[in-house]
Structure formats: C-alpha cells, structure tokens
Amino acid sequence: MPRVIDLGITIGLLPPGPTGSVLDVPGTGLGHATVWRDEAPPPAGRGIARTGVTVLDPGGDLFAFPVPAGAAVLSGAGECTGLLTAQEWGLAETPVFLTSTMQLGRVYDAACELLIEEQPAIARDVIIPIVAECDDSFLNDTRRMQVDRGDVREALAAARASAGAPAAAEGAVGAGTGMSCLGYKGGIGTASRVLPGGATVGVLTLTNFGDGGRLAVAGVPVGRLLPRPERARAAPAGSCIVVVITDGPLDSAACQRMARRAGLGLARTGSTAHHGSGEIFLALATGLRAPRGRTPAGAPVTGRALDDYFAAVTEATEEAVINSLLQSVTVTGRDGNTSAQIPADAVRRLVTEYQPGADRDR
C-alpha cells in the first residue's frame, strides 16, 4: 500500500527523513501488538476484537534519563494518563503507550509492572505511565477487556527492537486496528521532517476523527470529490492522539509550544474537533536529555529559531494522518460494521489534477 510520498503528493516545504517516520529520530522506536479475534458475543465469548497496543519509545532508560516534554489539548473528550505530570515537571519518564478507550486501565497496569521489572528504583520513586486512548467501539467489542499484559509487553519489545529500522508499520495495526478517520479506515500514521539546521522532527498519529466530507489532502477537498463509502451506522465522534518527537535541543516550554501546532496539521486534513472527539498532543525532545534530577547541559532553542520546528510539526502531522488512511485496509468488525480503505489511486488522481506541481507522470 502506498504512502503520501509514493503517490507523488507533496505536503509542505520541508523534506522528510529517510523513512518518513518517527524512526528517523535517532534512538526512537515504534512497536505494535494487534489483537484480532472472532469469538461468540459475550457472555459466551469475548466477541469481535479489533484493537491493540502501540508504543513509542524514545530509547534508553527514561526513568534514569527522562526527556523534556510538553503537552497541549485541543479538545479534552479523551484521556491520557501522565499528561498532567509531564506538563507540571516538563519531563516524560516512560514510553508513550496508545490503546483503545476501554483498555486504558489494563495498559496502564501492565506498563507499571513491566517498567518496574526493568528499573527497580521506580518502587522508591513512583511513575505515572503515559497512556493515551481513542474509542474503537465502532469495530471492536468493548464489552470485554480485549488487551492483556502480554500485548503490552509485545508492543514495548517491538518498539525497542525497531529503532533504526528502515520502515515503520502503519494503518490497521496495534492501537489503530479498530480506528476510523474522516470517513475511511484510519489508525496509525507517521511522518517526519528534517530541519535546515539538521534536527529531525517525527510525528505519530492515532487517527479516529472527522467527517468524510471534510477530508482534505494537500489542500484538495478529496472528501467532497470521492464517492462516500456506505456504512451500516455512523461511527462515533472518535479522537486523535498526536505524539511529536525531535532530537533538537528543546526544553519543556518549547515542547509545549510545539505540541500545540499538531492541531494545525489536523485542521488541514479536515478536523473540527467535534464535541465528543478528544484531540490530545504530546511533544518530546531528546536533545537536552539529562540524568534524573540534574540540569541539562547546553542552551535550548528559543524564540524565532523554533519556527522551523513549528512548521515541521504542522506538515508532518498532516502527512501522518493521510498515511494512516493510505496504509489501512478495509476492516469489518462487530455487528458487521465496516470501515473502508481509502481508494489511493483516486486520491492520487484528484490531487494531481488540483495541486500545482504534483507529479503527473506517476
């Protein structure tokens, strides 16, 4: 399945990194555990499972060497544990775990247990794992807890093993398995940008938001031009989680400012932050990482020098959302509900016709 770059579509002005994903940020890993089951409805069985866990790991021991962090909330109809602590202290002390709404507690518990096993000092100075969610109940049966500790362990191990890999898995995988976005099958998407000064910004999205008629790709109103896929019923309002990571020397204040720009990228794809849609953003920066309790060495990027970071977040967020659509397959879940794969060839044709400078030879 193609990504944005494979279709000859250009989003923004900054160039992508080699993989066009969060894996372009040195040391960063991205892993998934997908839960896909077809059992009898509860109470006889666990029902239809279309869910999972995704982990973004900045690398290394985050308890001993936390990373500067900042957060922003565009619409608060969602949950992200550890967000308040990250905002208060300006640090992230755990990897970022993503899952579905009803599985958040299980993932949180498993994250605590797994991280304590790795770092005994956590028992003397507690952590609050960062766990964020979106509602996948359109495709996934939420009457049973579908995720267990083994799934969280698998996703965390996969994230750590993926650092430096040539490509990142996207679409209907991990936490994105049951998500729907802008009228089509959504899920996991990622993109990156390389700044003129050499720093890299990567963006991870868990997409589960929006109306199909508002879908825009590189400024083209694709949602109004494509035939609308049929659905048995309307999907819930959903949400979107955006995680930004950079190797640039940013402090927590700059991370918070950078996180806010993720909302600009979502808006460019068609988000209006519905009443029931939680848009929650987190930004991490590894360039000023320091031992726990110590002051980082070096000066942070400030003021107008942050403008390239802001542009990178906006562009990469937009591209990551579209990648989540292009990389997803059609998924049928509970009660026969279906989220259809977006027609990539039709998207390419429309953008080629409407976007100046698009690749017309592909």
Q: Which residues have C-beta within 8 Å of that of residue 220, sequence separation ≥ 6?
A: 350, 351, 354, 355
Catalytic residue status for 21:
no
- Residue of 239, 252, 271, 339 marked active site: 239
- Residue of 93, 170, 279, 318 marked active site: 279
172: which DSSP letter?
Answer: S
String of DSSP letters for 10-21: --SSSPP-SSSS
Note the maximum CA span of the chain: 61
- Paired tokens of 358: 């698009």
Strand partners for 99:
133
Question: Burial of 335 by CB count in 10 Å (0-12 exposed, 13-18 middle, 19+ buried)?
Answer: middle
58: which DSSP letter?
Answer: -
- Residue of 21, 162, 192, 277 marked active site: 277
Question: Burial of 152 by CB count in 10 Å (0-12 exposed, 13-18 middle, 19+ buried)?
Answer: buried
The CB-side HSE value for 285 (13 A sphere, CA atoms) comes to: 26
Catalytic residue status for 339:
no
Catalytic residue status for 100:
no
| Residues belonging to the active site | 239, 277, 279
